[in-house]
């Protein structure tokens, strides 16, 4: 029996030595789990199978073997714990190494977009008028015949309708607005004087396209209504705008004109900045570029919105945004604005 005891204790020592030796090269948690099951596993672990001889031992032998089993178990558990800790550290270091971020690397630059020159021009123009006390409103691109024509003193069959070739949606009733002037009517319908507004937006005309004409372009409408207002106020206001927008050296020219909704009416030209008024291809060798229509609001228009023309008067203007941008940036071709050519847009 003594021989069997010694043999058993020897087997336990061998098992411990073998387990520790096998533990050395293990370097993944999965392999370590296998090792754990193989030696310490509750069901089929090697230590468990050696313990199964216990009932066959004598009373004296049992405590000796039991104590040895406990020592081996504790030793295996200690090694397991150390190895787990070591693997955890190693896996952490590996993850840190693989996921390392070099914070000193320069960032990847995203191509930055900028405002379209037309949007920027609208912003610059409206800012100037806001500084003069005007508010900014938005209008509708799909209008009705009443607001685009009739209320603006352009009845059906009036020859002035031919001045702007219209894109009709429902002929005689609904259309793509040909001008921002319908917003004069909508503003006066909604508010009481004093009124000072500017209204930027798209307008549409069924026109032949060339270097200075588009079928879709932008206008900015201006409207001022008060008890006291004269043509001199209109001129002063537009001159102030032109000097702020283009510089004090630029000149304005008022030419008598005709619009059914203003009386008197004037078209306003600005001296060409490309040739300094000497004449070039862009200004058709005249030295001037037409940028807006304007005038004193017609009494019929005031009556149409229920204002008393004896009490109130006002001025209105409508400027072409593309023409302003052409003047500002020295561009001789209007179609570049809607051409979506990034080489052109990046230059500005």
Q: Which residues bind ligand FA5 (CB under 6 A)?
A: 164, 179, 181, 205, 207, 213-214, 217, 219, 259, 262, 265, 290-295, 316-320, 322-323, 334
Residue 71, token pair as written in the block: 């020592």
- Residues 257 and 294: beta-carbon distance below 8 Å: no
CB under 8 Å to 321, separation ≥6 — which residues?
A: 118, 121, 122, 125, 200, 217, 218, 219, 220
Least separation in angstroms between CB 195 and ligand FA5: 14
Least separation in angstroms between CB 106 and ligand FA5: 44
Largest Cα–Cα distance of the chain, in whole Å? 134
Q: Which is nearer to ligand FA5, 35 or 259 (CB)?
A: 259
Angle, in degrees to the nearest 10, between helices 321-329 and 117-131 = 100
Q: Which is nearer to ligand FA5, 35 or 337 (CB)?
A: 337
Least separation in angstroms between CB 214 and ligand FA5: 4
Using Cβ positions, the residue closest to ligand FA5 within the complex turns out to be 320
Please indicate if the annotation marks 263 as binding a ligand.
yes
Q: Which is nearer to ligand FA5, 84 or 240 (CB)?
A: 240
Q: Which residues pair with 224 in a beta bridge?
A: 196, 315
Least separation in angstroms between CB 247 and ligand FA5: 19
Q: Which is nearer to ligand FA5, 181 or 304 (CB)?
A: 181
User: How many H-runs (helices) and E-runs (strands) does the chain carry?
Assistant: 11, 10
d(CA 32, CA 24): 10
Least separation in angstroms between CB 111 and ligand FA5: 30
d(CA 285, CA 269): 14
CA angle 222, 225, 231 (to 5 degrees): 75
Least separation in angstroms between CB 301 and ligand FA5: 10
Q: Which is nearer to ligand FA5, 8 or 199 (CB)?
A: 199
Rg (CA), the chain: 45
Q: Which ranges of 215-313 does DSSP label H, i.e. alpha helix?
A: 231-246, 299-304
| Coil vs helix vs strand at 224 | strand
d(CA 175, CA 148): 8
| Coil vs helix vs strand at 279 | coil
Least separation in angstroms between CB 184 and ligand FA5: 7
Q: Which is nearer to ligand FA5, 121 or 179 (CB)?
A: 179
Q: Which is nearer to ligand FA5, 135 or 338 (CB)?
A: 338
d(CA 284, CA 282): 5
User: Where does residue 142 rank: exposed (0-12), middle (13-18), buried (19+ CB within 10 A)?
Assistant: exposed
Known binding-site residue numbers? 263
**Where is the binding site for Mg(2+), in residues?**
263
């Amino acid at each position: 029996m003594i021989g069997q005891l010694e043999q058993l204790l020897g087997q336990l020592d061998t098992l411990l030595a073998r387990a520790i030796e096998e533990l050395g090269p293990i370097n993944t948690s999965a392999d370590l789990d296998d090792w754990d099951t193989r030696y310490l596993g509750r069901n089929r672990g090697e230590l468990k199978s050696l313990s199964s001889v216990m009932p066959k031992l004598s009373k004296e032998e049992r405590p000796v073997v039991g104590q040895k089993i406990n020592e081996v178990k504790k030793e295996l558990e200690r090694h397991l714990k150390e190895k787990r800790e070591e693997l955890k550290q190693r896996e952490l270091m590996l993850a840190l190494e693989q996921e390392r971020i070099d914070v000193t690397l320069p960032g990847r630059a995203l191509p930055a977009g900028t405002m379209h020159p037309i949007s920027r021009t609208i912003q610059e123009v409206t800012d100037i008028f806001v500084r003069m006390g005007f508010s900014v409103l938005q209008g509708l691109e799909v209008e009705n015949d009443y607001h685009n024509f009739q209320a603006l003193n352009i009845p059906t069959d009036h020859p002035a309708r031919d001045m702007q070739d219209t894109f009709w949606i429902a002929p005689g009733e609904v259309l793509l607005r040909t001008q921002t002037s319908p917003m004069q009517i909508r503003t006066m319908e909604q508010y009481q004087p004093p009124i000072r507004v500017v209204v930027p937006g798209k307008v549409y005309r069924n026109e032949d396209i060339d270097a200075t004409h588009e079928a879709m372009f932008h206008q900015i409408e201006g409207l001022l209504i008060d008890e006291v207002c004269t043509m001199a106020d209109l001129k002063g206001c537009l001159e102030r705008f032109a000097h702020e927008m283009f510089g004090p050296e630029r000149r304005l020219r008022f030419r008598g004109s005709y619009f059914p909704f203003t009386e008197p009416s004037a078209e306003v030209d600005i001296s060409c900045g490309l040739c300094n008024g000497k004449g070039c291809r862009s200004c058709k060798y005249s030295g001037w570029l037409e940028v807006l229509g304007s005038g004193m609001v017609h009494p019929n228009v005031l009556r149409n919105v229920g204002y008393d023309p004896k009490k109130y008067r006002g001025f209105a203007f409508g400027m072409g945004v593309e023409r302003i941008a052409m003047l500002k940036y020295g561009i001789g071709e209007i179609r570049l604005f809607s051409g979506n050519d990034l080489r052109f847009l990046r230059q500005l």
